[in-house]
A = this chain, B = another copy of it.
Amino acid sequence: MTDNQANVETIVIIGSGPAAHTAAIYAARALLNPVMYEGEYASGVAAGGQLTTTTDVENFPGFPNGIMGPDLMMAMREQSINCGARILTKTVDSVDFSTRPFKVSGSFGDVFAHVVIVATGATAKRLHIKGEDVFWQKGISACAVCDGALPIFRNKPLVVIGGGDSAVEEANYLTKFASKVTMLVRKDELRASKVMQERAFANSKIDIKWNTEAQEVQGDQMMAQVVVKNNQTSAVETLDASGLFYAIGHTPNTDFLNGQLTLDESGYVITTPDTMKTNIDGVFACGDVQDHVYRQAITAAGTGCMAALDAEHYLSAQGLI
């Protein structure tokens, strides 16, 4: 290592969710002295990632009676620190992967690093309708797989917003728990594939409202109704609903990369199969920023571990540690 690299970080981790913390835990235990930029409400989500906007997490293995999302993330953060990771509550605004070491920049200035692990996650798209903020996670959810099995949704009427494959999939999934599922579809047809469409039509518990958009969510402690409007007739209707599931997609938080990593058409970072390597040697990506298929806390954590181990191999092979 040359003198001008004396202040170079070995590993910078950008993110604050399960992937970022698992990467930090593994890197810290390997004495790689990682530093994590957890962000200050970066991409509209508090440090801790999407789990901070959830309540009960019943499917993270190791917690027989479930754990609250924010509690799980506080535990992971504490564990990262206990293992020796440094955590800075600063947002990374840009990166420069064209120089070695890499440059990571924000209001804190410029930091240089031999390895960058991108774990910035994805943000569920919102509609910003009336009542959305009030009842988010009080009936409104962006993840049927995560939340569908919760007791508050059992044998209750539920509403799904969206017309793509994942909307149909989520609606189908929710019929296991719900008394009835109403899909709100903005157009007069589904974007979903033919086979998924047929599945929706064949499911007697699914009712589709065409040309219909949600306007407002109402309720008391928990949401109880969705006000919807037909965008052809302008007719307004109030639907009883204990749950409202947004299936309108996620936005991977990759804008700050400014095109320096290869992304797929939806903006997710592409990683080499069965690894967390990106197209740039020394840059790794893990968690929801590179996974639009599984998108679970436990899968994100697994990939965080993989990224840290991949990074260690890289550093070792390059003679940087």
Residues in A159-209 with C-beta less than 8 Å from chain B: 169, 172-173, 176-177, 195, 199
Contact A317 B195, CB 8 Å, known A65-B82, A79-B61: yes
Q: Is A225 positioned at the interface, with any CB of B under 8 Å from its CB? A: no
Q: Would you call A29 an interface residue if the criterion is a C-beta within 8 Å of the partner chain's C-beta atoms?
A: yes
Cβ of A248 < 8 Å from any Cβ of B? no
In this complex, which of A61, A149, A173 has the most chain B Cβ atoms within 10 angstroms of its Cβ? Answer: A61
Asked whether any CB of chain B lies closer than 8 Å to the CB of A236, the reply is no
Tell me which residues across on chain B come within 8 A of A87, comparing CB atoms. Answer: none
Cβ of A88 within 8 Å of any chain B Cβ, yes or no, is: no
CB distance from A156 to the nearest CB of B (A): 16
Beyond A30-B176, A195-B317, A316-B199, is A25–B306 a contact (Cβ under 8 Å)?
Answer: no
Q: Is the CB of A62 within 8 A of B65?
A: no
Beta-carbon contacts under 8 Å, A15-72 to B: 18, 21-22, 25-26, 29-31, 58-65, 67, 72
- Cα distance A177–B84 in the bound complex, in angstroms: 14
Cβ–Cβ < 8 Å partners of A173 in chain B? 30
Instruction: Scan A134-150; emit 1 where CB is below 8 A from any B CB, else 0.
Output: 00000000000100010
Copies in the complex: 2
Q: Which of A119-127, A237-245, A294-302 contacts B (4 or more CB under 8 A)?
A: A294-302
For A82, A176, A274, A309, the residue with the greatest tally of chain B CB atoms inside 10 Å of its CB is A274
Picked from B76, B149, B306, B317, the residue with its CB within 8 Å of the CB of A61 is B76
In the complex, what residue of chain B is closest to A177 when comparing beta carbons?
B31
Shortest Cβ gap from A289 to chain B (Å): 15
Q: Which residue of B lies closest to A77 (CB)?
A: B64
Specify which of A21, A22, A60, A64 lies most central, judged by the most chain B CB atoms within 10 Å of its CB: A64
CB distance from A147 to the nearest CB of B (A): 10
Known contacts A274-B274, A294-B309, A303-B302; decide if A78 and B60 are in contact (CB<8 Å): no
Chain B residues with Cβ below 8 Å from A316 are 169, 172, 199
Q: Which residues of B contact A78 (CB under 8 A)?
A: 64
Q: Please give the distance in Å from A48's CB to the nearest CB on chain B.
A: 12
Contacts of A75 in B (CB 8 A): 61-64
Minimum C-beta distance from A231 to chain B (A): 31
Question: Closest 9 A-B residue pairs measured CB to CB?
Answer: A302-B302, A273-B273, A64-B78, A64-B79, A299-B302, A29-B149, A22-B61, A31-B176, A61-B76
Could you list 10 A-B pairs, sorted by A, with CB under 8 Å? A25-B61, A29-B58, A31-B177, A58-B83, A61-B301, A62-B72, A64-B78, A293-B309, A294-B305, A294-B309
